[in-house]
Amino acid sequence: MTIDIAVNTKAGKGGALVTAFALIAFLTLAACSSFVVGALTDERVSWPLEVLAAAIPYFPESGRLNERLAAQQLLEEERDLTLAESYARTSIKLSPWDYNYRLSLANVEEAVGNRDAAETSLRDALALAPNNADLHWRMANILLRLGKTEESFHEFRRATEANISLLGATLDLTWRTSGGRIDQVEAVTSDDPKSRLSLAQFLLRQSKVVDAARIFSEIDRGQRLKMPEASIFLSTLIDSGRWKTARELWLETVSSDGVTADPRSSMIWNGSFEGATAREFPQFDWNISSSQYARISITEEAALTGSHSLRISFTGRDTTRIDGEIKQLVVIRPGQRYRVECNARSERLVTPMGPRLAVLDARSSLEIASSGPVPEGSRDWAPLSCEFIAPDNCEAVFIEIRRLPRYSYDDPTEGTVWLDDFTLTEVSNNR
């Protein structure tokens, strides 16, 4: 929009010129003032208190500058809390709708030791910014120090709902102040799956395994499957030797009915390779990888039952070693006798000694038992099996297919082996 003003007299033209210059001067001064105040209140720059104090007579109507002076006073070794409170209150008077200035006043009031007043200032700030996570966090801390525990839980929860990154510090603080009460850390944690999983991880770090497992189990299975942290939680349980708990939670997570994919095997998961692999949750599934000595995969080209089996195609490199490329972690009971078996088929297998079915202690990686080797040549499906008694303190084993050289050098292994129908069953100790 353009406004045209007709001025016909010399006096009128002169007055207009003076007005224009005055307006330009005013706008220039305003721009300069805004620039100076902006520079002095920039949080990225640390100005000495003396500089800020020297500027305030020139810009007494700046709420930002008054608030910055209040905050700076709190940082001084010889701080003047009365002066800091005066600056904070002035900033609020100048800008009553800015919640930051009320937060600054609350900081001063808490420094003075007047927590009740600080609570009031924070409530005023929250009235202006009800969804601000930092304000709820500060209110929660004030309420906790005032002994208003139940109210503080509500504020902690509001804070972490708005900003989940605050949950870790909230759990640490609540755990310490409550003396390690489970109900209180639960009370400050919201119900969303990510927060509940964070709580489960926190309790696991406190060695509260039963409660951590309970909370993990209460999270919706579909949500668990979407969160990488859920897989990390299970791996942490395994690393701490909590195999049974980890196995139960793993089954709840990867299986909709909590049982293995192969109904004939209650202990080995997916023993016939008919189910899909749980790629994001590999803890108790088959862990299969190829090496320079063999290409290993699940295939449909041959099967004893169903339509899939495990194929090992040896590459013909000398001193062939298969050790850890095919394994599954299984939970067992110490002192119990077990029988493990599978079926093998071979084609043109040339080897100093064929691969074997082996059982390894999950804790020590020592071999407990093994079957005989797959024979050379081309042979139809035949069983590989062995029995073992679980050693004392052995709560989990790896079921593996291994091929270890007898000496530092042996001849290459060539050909193909298929494996199918793995089972692990308990056997009576009276046999």
SS3 of 76-91: CCCCCHHHHHHHHHHH
3-state SS assignment for residue 109: helix
Rounded CA-CA distance 406/4 in Å is: 103
DSSP 392: T
Pairing of β 337-350 and β 414-427: antiparallel
Tokens of 342: 């599978």
Class of domain 287-427: mainly beta
Please state the pTM of the whole predicted model. Answer: 0.80
DSSP assignment string, 220-250: -HHHHHH-HHHHHHHHHHHHTT-HHHHHHHH
Tokens 């071999």 -> residue = 367
Distant-in-sequence, close-in-space partners of 24: CB < 8 Å, separation ≥ 6? none
Which helix (H) or strand (E) is 396 found in, with range?
strand 396-402
Pick from 236, 160, 224, 169: nearest CA to 197:
224
Tokens of 348: 């043109």
* Dihedral sign, Cα of residue 226, residue 229, residue 230, residue 234: positive
| pLDDT for 43 | 64
Within the chain, which residue ranges are assigned CATH 2.60.120.260? 287-427
| pLDDT for 17 | 47
| pLDDT for 76 | 82
**What's the average pLDDT block by block, 10 residues per block, for the chain (431 residues)?**
50 47 42 57 66 74 80 83 88 91 91 92 94 94 92 94 93 93 94 96 96 96 94 96 96 73 65 88 94 95 94 96 96 96 96 97 96 96 96 96 93 96 88 58
Q: What is the pLDDT of residues 208-264, one digit of tens each?
A: 999 999 999 999 999 999 999 999 999 999 999 999 999 999 999 998 754 444 444
290 C-beta neighbours (distance < 10 Å), count: 13
Pick from 222, 218, 166: nearest CA to 197:
218
Q: What is the pLDDT of residues 372-431, one digit of tens each?
A: 999 999 999 999 999 999 999 999 999 999 999 989 999 999 999 999 999 999 998 665
Residue 288 sits at the vertex; the CA angle it makes with 286 and 289, to the nearest 5 degrees, is 165
Tokens 């005055």 -> residue = 22
